[in-house]
């Protein structure tokens, strides 16, 4: 028997080494419905976490599933693969763990384990297919096109594919669950175009029909209201600039100009696929190509009375390429296309021939006005509805096709420079007009009788009213922009209510909107014009001008604005007599912080000096002789010019708030090296040419400082070429002697594997999904076809449809006594019917020791497409202890605003410390009444094999394993099982034995990672006892004993903050989130000894002790 098993392993040995492990989930056929797109059930899925490089901050669970039934493929047995019955596998001593590592589907593995446990004869003849190489599936019928033997894991293969992914397809993904005529194919509605404030449907206002309800949404005091009206926890605001919790990105205020496009080569995730990227007149989609596709579709609708030649010429005018004009230049536009427009087109016509704005406003052009060779002529706006008042600059009323037309006032638009593009000539001008008129557009179906409610604002001289949450948000909603200009002197009562949305400029005392902070525009105004500083323009300039920094004080560069103290102006550069100018922050930073330059002495030992000057001398090219010599230190910065380029008097020309040093200086200007010795004098007295060698033996075509010439230069030339202007670092970060702060680029061990076929990258068939080959019958002419595995955001045989879905972002908090408890989190989408149907669910393991800072991103989808608008839905969350399976608590969150196609919700859940939450107000026939922890509602927790609102509906027998917990059945009639620690699988029959070998040392507890989280380096984690840490609890923690003097007044508990200085590139524009690292613990002081003992696992450089009275004490690392 051993021999047979060994042979069987040899069959698999190459397969195991060569390709990733691919286990399909949910492979049992759940429906034979031909309209498979109408059900939202997971089928034939791979499951994995997204963006594992950020797993310590955000963890997203994704299932890539087949959207069409496998029955349509008519898959036949492929005799090239060996098959074994379960009975045969058992005789060969093959275990379920073996099948798992051999990429067998989970359902088959669990069936095999049931056979082994129960010796069920009905399963003895079930067939297992011995797939080899890159094939997988119940009959070895599937294969990824992206497979390559170099990949070590499924995650690596998928991650690498999306790193190289770029969706160039002209076939858009579409939201089809709303009646809407978006125009000629391929134009279609995108989910981001619903409730975006403009009508996109040509046949009605369907996409904005119920959106007014968002204006009446009220947030709780501990919540932040997104611009679209939805609410998120305050804790989530400005917490991660690359991941947004508001679908409109308004929670990360200073990243408004960030375009989170899917073309940025990342796998499907909330930040790309569940985010609105722009607010343009045509779309808000994050797919850049959508804008051009929609424009082409708009121009495909032509008036039958207009000739094709004329219409093509107008396309050319807007730089939209056609077969007639594939290459468009300004000469082509002005000489060919305008001539055709003049000769072949009507005097005035709609271009495009469909409404461009709000479903009823056309743009029209008169051909005799298209005269300017570069500028775009503003259009007429035409409509049969009233759409503006006197606040719009519209002139020259005329009529066209039963519409009244007004000419838009001229706006600045050059139509681009260089090669004309449709962006410059069509999209940008239309966006310009859209921004002008959108404030005049009323909210569709808004109940005007509610405008007098206390939380609504009536726009000035308009019937339009808006919710208070729309005030001071950086978006113009009122015709006169008065919603963004509310000030204390004009409306003190209203100003007091919205004052929290303002920032008060410290210099000018002006109030500006919070959204305008650090947006690269100066909104505060310039108080010190001569210095060009604006406090709200740049975050780091604001910090350095306002904050006393130990690292930059007394460095000979004035950065702080003067503060009057005792009648004297004090800055960061006053009273510096006792301050050492040569220190760890200034030494060898290429800037003279000391007047005599001693902080830059002996910095580059790799090259021999041009001249050996002692420490009391500095190199200098003499003003009168042009020779390189040594200048006595007492002549440096003495007010008398001795050296060419003013290299000895660097401080004399420095203005306040300057941010540079060095360079060749003459008569008020600094010259860069390329101006030195180039044959063209720049200085008034030709000092930049005075020291240059004459009569060279070769001809130069640029400065002597150029790389190709510098080796031939004299010592004086080499010296002055090296005196370059150096920009001072705007901020310097805390350093510790002996600590290497230098930044080195890390070599990524996971090099990109460029093995994906080019055609798959250039035109991905499955859009944001994964292309999968399906093998049919080896003997047929057509032996394979393709299907797609779609992420939760999409479905369809090509992932071409956008799914109705809930996108949840959840962070969990636990009490101190529960930190080491392992929890099973079950999140379900349920409805309010008597059946209490579970439409979809997700579950994962939570450990505060590992996940306390993690935000979990979870998708939930509806079991039918489209969702039933007559039902109410809720998110029900159950929390169980993983080891005992005891129920710790439940939470309920209603799903409101069902008209939203993608509903983003964000919660913070405090896991309860106790489980005493029973109730008696519900008659639960086969279950018990429980309270929800976050509301006053109650519910029935049903016994096994019972369901429904009152646990009165019998179910089929649960098929979870006997050592798991069966919590109900999902809409696909599959049992929902909560597995104990060390078990996994849909029915909890599979055992994860990674912890059997006790990899955690020093009595640490080994916890297997969830199966979707498994990678070669992430198979388990260890919960370490006090005093130990490390991946395997192999490190002994630092023991810190603090004894406090009796004179120090301390609270009963104190916060202890540990600061770790992390090296990073200090020239980077954005400071890494990890610099510096701060970790905090709350500790109780022994009243008897007035002391405390702490075990700390991480390295640190500083430790702050904070009392509850906000007193701080500093201690450096031991």
Mean pLDDT lowest among 529-543, 893-907, 1096-1110: 529-543
Q: How far is CA 692 from the centre of its chain?
A: 54
For residue 575, give every residue at least 6 positions away whose Cβ sits within 8 Å of its Cβ, in sequence order, or none: none
Are 17 and 112 in the same domain? Answer: yes
Closest Cα to residue 260, out of 229, 250, 249?
Answer: 249
Domain co-membership, 1067 together with 943 = no
pLDDT at 712: 93
Q: Do 536 and 512 touch, CB atoms closer than 8 A?
A: yes
Q: Is 356 helix (H, G, I), strand (E, B) or coil?
A: coil
Residues 6+ apart with CB under 8 A from 827: 808, 810, 841, 842, 843, 858, 860, 875, 876, 877
Q: Do 486 and 633 fall into the same domain?
A: no
823 located within any domain: yes
Does 525 map to a domain?
no
Q: Which helix (H) or strand (E) holds 156?
A: helix 154-163
State phi, psi for 1051 to the nearest 5 degrees. -80, 170
Report the alpha-carbon distance of residue 364 to residue 405 in Å, rounded. 8
Is residue 593 domain-resident?
A: no
Q: Which of 725, 841, 901 is nearest to 273 (CA)?
A: 901
Residue 742's pLDDT band (boundaries 50, 70, 90)? Answer: very low
How many beta carbons lie within 10 A of that of residue 28, not counting itself?
15
Compute the distance between CA of residue 358 and CA of residue 930 in angstroms, rounded to an integer: 49
CA dihedral 539, 545, 548, 553 (to 10 degrees): 120
Grade residue 264 by pLDDT with cuts at 50, 70 and 90.
very low
Q: List, in order, residues 6 or more apart from 792 with CB less than 8 Å away.
A: 62, 63, 65, 803, 805, 859, 861
261's tokens: 């496009």
Same domain for 317 and 388?
yes
Compute the distance between CA of residue 55 and CA of residue 40 in angstroms, rounded to an integer: 28
Residue 223 lies in a domain: no
Cα 947 from Cα 926, distance rounded (Å)? 8
Coil, strand or helix at 857 = strand
> How far is the C-alpha of 342 from the C-alpha of 391, rounded, in Å?
34
pLDDT at 239 over 80: yes
Containing 587, the helix (H) or strand (E) segment is none
Please indicate, yes or no, whether residues 883 and 825 belong to a single structural domain of this protein. Answer: yes
Residues 369 and 467 in one domain: no
Report the candidate in 185, 59, 48 with the shortest Cα–Cα distance to residue 789: 48
pLDDT tens per residue, range 212-230:
999 999 999 999 999 999 9
Residue after which a domain boundary falls, among 416, 440, 464: 440
In the block, residue with structure tokens 């902080």: 599
For residue 262, what pLDDT band results from cuts at 50, 70 and 90? very low
Give strand pairing partners of 1059: 1078, 1102
Per-residue model confidence (pLDDT) at position 741: 42
CA distance 755 to 150: 9
Name residues whose C-beta falls within 8 Å of residue 532's C-beta, 6 or more positions apart in sequence.
526
Same domain, 767 and 842: no
CA 895/CA 910 separation, integer angstroms: 20
Bridge partners (DSSP) listed for residue 12: none
Neighbours of 132 (CB within 10 A): 18
d(CA 66, CA 795): 8
The first and second tokens of residue 815, run together, are: 């009490």
The string of DSSP letters for 266-332 reads --S-HHHHT------SS---S-HHHHHHHHHHHTT---TTS-HHHHHHHHHHTT---SS-SS--HHI
On the 0-12 / 13-18 / 19+ scale of CB atoms within 10 A, 1084 is exposed
Containing structural domain, residue 463: 448-516
Q: Domain check: are 426 and 329 in the same one?
A: yes
pLDDT at residue number 253: 62
Strand pairing class (805-813; 902-910): parallel
Token couple for 877: 């969350």
Average pLDDT over residues 748-768: 57
**pLDDT exceeds cutoff 70 at 277:** yes
* Confidence at 549, pLDDT banded by 50, 70, 90: confident
| Rounded-to-integer distance, Cα 1102 and Cα 1061, Å | 9
Could you give the number of structural domains in the chain? 6
pTM above 0.85, yes or no: no
Asked if the structure places residue 536 within a domain, the reply is no
The more confident residue out of 804 and 475 is 804
Q: How far apart are CA 855 and CA 249, in angstroms?
A: 17
In the predicted structure, residue 446 carries a pLDDT above the cut 60: yes
* End position of a domain, from candidates 680, 711, 727: 727
In tens, the pLDDT along 616-625 reads 999 999 999 9
CA distance 215 to 483: 14
In this predicted structure, the answer to whether residue 436 has a pLDDT above a threshold of 50 is yes
Residue pLDDT, tens place only, 888-946: 999 999 999 999 999 999 999 999 988 767 888 788 999 999 999 999 999 999 999 99
Of 516, 534, 550, the domain-final residue: 516
Average pLDDT value for residue range 746-763 = 47
User: 839 and 982: one domain?
Assistant: yes
Average of per-residue pLDDT across 62-85: 85
- pLDDT, mean over the chain: 84
Question: Does residue 452 share a domain with residue 425?
Answer: no
Q: Which has the higher per-residue pLDDT, 778 or 445?
A: 445
H helix runs in 805-852, sequence order: 848-851
Q: Whole-angstrom Cα distance, residue 374 to residue 396?
A: 23
Question: Which of 57-66, 98-107, 551-560, 951-960 is least confident?
Answer: 551-560
* Phi, psi (degrees; rounded to nearest 5) at 432: -60, -45
**Beta-bridge mates of residue 1078:** 1059
Q: State both tokens at 53.
A: 């490089």
Q: Examine residue 172 and say whether the peptide bond preceding it is cis (omega within 30 degrees of 0).
A: no
d(CA 28, CA 111): 11
Residue 843 has pLDDT above 90, yes or no: yes
Is residue 360 domain-resident? yes
Asked if residue 154 and residue 9 are part of one domain, the reply reads yes
Q: Are residues 775 and 837 in the same domain?
A: no
Mean pLDDT of 498-514: 83
Q: Is residue 783 one of the residues assigned to a domain?
A: yes
What are the tens digits of pLDDT across the range 638-682? Answer: 989 999 999 999 877 666 667 788 889 998 888 999 999 999 999
How far apart (Å, rounded) are the C-alpha atoms in residues 946 and 952? 7
Query: Token pair 């600045």 is at which residue?
Result: 412
Position 534 in a domain: no
What is the DSSP code (8-state) at residue 956?
Answer: P
Q: Which pLDDT value is given to residue 316?
A: 94
């Amino acid at each position: 028997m051993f021999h047979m098993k060994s042979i069987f392993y040899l069959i698999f040995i190459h397969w195991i080494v060569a390709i990733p492990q691919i286990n399909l989930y949910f492979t049992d056929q759940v429906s034979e419905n031909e309209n498979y797109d109408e059900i939202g059930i997971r089928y034939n899925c791979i499951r994995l976490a997204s963006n594992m490089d950020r797993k310590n901050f955000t963890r997203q669970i994704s299932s890539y599933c087949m959207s069409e039934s496998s029955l349509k493929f008519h898959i036949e047995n492929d005799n090239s693969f060996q098959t074994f019955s379960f009975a045969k596998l058992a005789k060969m001593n093959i275990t379920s763990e073996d099948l798992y590592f051999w990429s067998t589907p989970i359902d088959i593995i669990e069936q095999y384990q049931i056979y082994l446990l129960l010796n069920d004869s009905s399963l003895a003849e079930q067939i297992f297919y011995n797939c080899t190489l890159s094939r997988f599936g119940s009959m070895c019928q599937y294969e990824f096109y992206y497979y390559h033997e170099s990949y070590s894991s499924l995650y690596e293969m998928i991650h690498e594919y999306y790193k190289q992914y770029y969706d160039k397809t002209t076939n858009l993904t579409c939201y089809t669950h709303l009646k809407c005529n978006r125009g000629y194919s391929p134009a279609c509605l995108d989910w981001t175009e619903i409730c975006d404030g403009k009508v996109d449907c040509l046949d009605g206002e369907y996409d904005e029909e119920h959106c007014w309800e968002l204006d009446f949404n009220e947030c709780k005091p501990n919540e932040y209201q997104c611009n679209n009206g939805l609410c998120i926890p305050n804790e989530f605001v400005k917490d991660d600039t690359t991941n947004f919790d508001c679908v409109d990105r308004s929670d990360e205020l200073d990243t408004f100009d960030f375009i989170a496009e899917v073309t940025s080569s990342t796998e499907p995730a909330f930040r790309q696929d569940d985010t609105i990227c722009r607010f343009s007149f045509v779309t808000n989609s994050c797919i850049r190509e959508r804008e051009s596709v929609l424009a082409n579709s708009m121009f495909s609708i032509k008036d039958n009375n207009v000739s094709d030649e004329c219409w093509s010429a107008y396309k050319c005018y807007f730089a939209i390429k056609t077969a007639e004009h594939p290459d468009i230049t300004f000469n082509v536009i002005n000489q060919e296309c305008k001539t055709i427009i003049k000769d072949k087109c009507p005097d005035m016509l709609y271009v495009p021939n469909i409404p461009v704005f709000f479903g009823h406003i056309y743009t029209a052009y008169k051909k005799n006005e298209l005269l300017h060779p570069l500028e775009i002529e503003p259009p007429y706006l035409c409509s049969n509805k009233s759409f503006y008042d006197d606040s719009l600059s519209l002139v020259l009323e005329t009529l066209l096709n039963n519409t009244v037309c007004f000419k838009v006032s001229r706006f600045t638009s050059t139509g681009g420079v260089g090669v004309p593009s449709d962006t410059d000539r069509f999209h940008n001008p239309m966006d310009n007009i859209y921004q002008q008129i959108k404030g005049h557009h009323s909210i569709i179906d808004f109940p005007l009788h509610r405008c007098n409610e206390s939380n609504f604002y009536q726009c000035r001289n308009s019937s339009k009213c808006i919710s208070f949450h729309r005030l001071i948000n950086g978006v113009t909603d009122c015709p006169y922009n008065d919603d963004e200009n509310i000030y204390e002197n004009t409306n003190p009562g209203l100003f007091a209510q919205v004052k929290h949305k303002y920032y008060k400029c410290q210099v000018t005392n002006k109030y500006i909107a919070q959204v305008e902070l650090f947006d690269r525009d100066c909104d505060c105004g310039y108080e010190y014009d001569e210095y060009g500083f604006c406090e709200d323009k740049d975050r780091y300039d604001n910090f350095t001008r306002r904050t006393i920094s130990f690292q930059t004080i007394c460095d000979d560069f004035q950065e702080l604005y003067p503060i009057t103290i005792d009648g004297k102006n004090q800055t960061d550069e006053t009273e510096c007599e006792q301050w050492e100018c040569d220190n760890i922050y200034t030494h060898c930073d290429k800037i003279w912080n000391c007047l005599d330059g001693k902080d830059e002495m002996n910095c580059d030992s790799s090259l021999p000096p041009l001249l050996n000057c002692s420490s009391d001398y500095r190199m200098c090219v003499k003003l009168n002789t042009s020779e390189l010599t040594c200048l006595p230190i007492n002549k440096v910065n003495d007010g008398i010019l001795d050296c060419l380029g003013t290299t000895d008097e660097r401080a004399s020309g420095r203005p306040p708030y300057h941010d540079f040093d060095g360079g060749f200086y003459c008569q008020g200007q600094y010259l860069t090296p390329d101006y030195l010795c180039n044959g063209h004098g720049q200085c008034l007295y030709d000092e930049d040419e005075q020291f240059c060698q004459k009569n060279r033996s070769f001809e130069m075509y640029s400065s002597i400082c150029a790389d190709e010439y510098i080796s031939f230069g004299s010592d004086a030339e080499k010296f002055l070429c090296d005196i370059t202007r150096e920009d001072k670092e705007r901020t310097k970060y805390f350093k510790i002697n002996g600590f290497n702060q230098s930044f080195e680029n890390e070599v990524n061990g996971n090099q990109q594997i460029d093995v994906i076929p080019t055609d798959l990258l250039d035109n991905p068939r499955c859009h944001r999904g994964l292309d999968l080959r399906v093998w049919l019958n080896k003997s047929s002419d057509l032996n394979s076809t393709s299907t797609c595995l779609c992420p939760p955001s999409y479905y369809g045989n090509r992932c071409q449809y956008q799914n109705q879905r809930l996108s949840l972002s959840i962070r969990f908090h636990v009490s101190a006594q529960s930190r080491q408890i392992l929890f099973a989190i079950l999140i379900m989408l349920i409805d309010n019917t008597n059946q209490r149907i579970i439409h979809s669910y997700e579950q994962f393991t939570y450990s505060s020791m590992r996940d306390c800072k993690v935000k979990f991103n979870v998708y939930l989808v509806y079991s039918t497409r489209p969702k039933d608008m007559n039902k109410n839905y809720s998110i029900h969350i159950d929390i169980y202890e993983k080891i005992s399976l005891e129920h710790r608590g439940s939470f309920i969150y209603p799903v409101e605003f069902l008209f939203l196609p993608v509903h983003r919700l964000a919660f913070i859940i405090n896991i309860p410390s106790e489980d005493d939450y029973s109730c008696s107000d519900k008659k639960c026939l086969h279950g018990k009444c429980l309270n929800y922890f976050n509301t006053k509602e109650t519910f029935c927790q049903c016994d096994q094999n019972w369901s429904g609102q009152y646990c009165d509906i019998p179910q089929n027998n649960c098929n979870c394993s006997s050592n798991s917990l069966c919590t109900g059945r999902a809409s696909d009639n599959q049992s929902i099982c909560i597995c104990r620690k060390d078990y996994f699988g849909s029915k909890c029959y599979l055992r994860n034995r990674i912890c059997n070998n006790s990899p955690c040392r020093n009595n640490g507890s080994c916890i297997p990672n969830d199966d979707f989280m498994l990678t070669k380096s992430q198979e388990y984690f260890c919960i370490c006892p006090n005093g130990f840490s490390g991946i395997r609890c192999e490190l002994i923690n630092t023991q810190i004993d603090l004894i406090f003097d009796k004179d120090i007044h301390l609270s009963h508990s104190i916060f202890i903050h540990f600061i770790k200085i992390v090296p990073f590139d200090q020239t980077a524009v954005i400071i890494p989130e990890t610099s510096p690292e701060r970790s905090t613990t709350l500790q109780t002081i022994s009243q008897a000894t007035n002391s405390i003992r702490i075990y700390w696992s991480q390295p640190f450089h500083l430790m702050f002790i904070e009392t509850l009275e906000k007193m701080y004490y500093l201690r450096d690392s031991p």
